[in-house]
Amino acid sequence: MADRKGRAAIVTGAAGMIGSATVRHLRQAGWSVLAVDLREPETMEGVTALAADVTDPVQAARIAARAANLFGHADALVHIAGGAGPTRAPDLASTDLDIWNHVMALNLTSAFLLCRALVPPMREAGFGRVVLLSSIIARGEKGPPTTVAARLPYAAAKAALEGLTAQLAKDCAADGVTVNAIAPGLILGEQGTRIRDRFEALPETERARMLGAIPAGRAGTADEAAGLIAFLLSPEAAYLNGATIPVNGAA
């Protein structure tokens, strides 16, 4: 199909800053959306909200079943849910197995579970779009952890996610399915969002150091990440497959 009318997408992490911006961009492009988050996201016309834990295999299957009930199947998966967890673990010694397993489940295992549930119907239909969320941290970060709570497992999970992206794209390309990832740098949302709160809690010298390390001289916005995601779901992106695209102001 040359246009997006009638297409349906699942967006996880839809209550967050990039997730909510992505839902808005997809609706403007004509997509119907199933918006998924641990807490039920706000909705708009053309959007159905679902509260679910993406690390739970049973709930991942429930997301797929809900999409099948609503749309027949989802044409696209945008998996934004993730993060470095709630517990600050600045180094190897402070990263216990529970922290490691939680961050891995939140970022990597959840992507596997959702792709396993949602990609086979896309392949059968001969069309699909998958966008996963990596991070600039996948290549490591020098200095003390800043807005990232448990940096070591987070970096490992995001790097592994890029490998999942590359291999799944090769497995699915012949069936009309593209699998790409974006790797944001510092993206700041509005006042009261989690990353902005963590950023603003840092000493002024540390905030200045972080911004000074970005050649663009500023943090990115949720709309800048969401605009790229919307493009990756478009017909114009059909030959872009298996890529991890940085969104980081040339950092």
Instruction: Report, as residue numbers or ranges, the catalytic residues.
Output: 154
- Rounded to 10°, the helix 204-212/194-201 angle is 120
Query: Would you call 198 exposed, middle or buried from its count of C-beta atoms within 10 A (0-12, 13-18, 19+)?
Result: middle
Both tokens of 104, joined, read: 């891995």
Question: Is the separation of the CB atoms in 76 and 130 below 8 Å?
Answer: yes
List, in order, residues 6 or more apart from 158 with CB less than 8 Å away: 107, 134, 135, 137, 138, 183
Torsional sign, CA 96, 97, 102, 108: positive
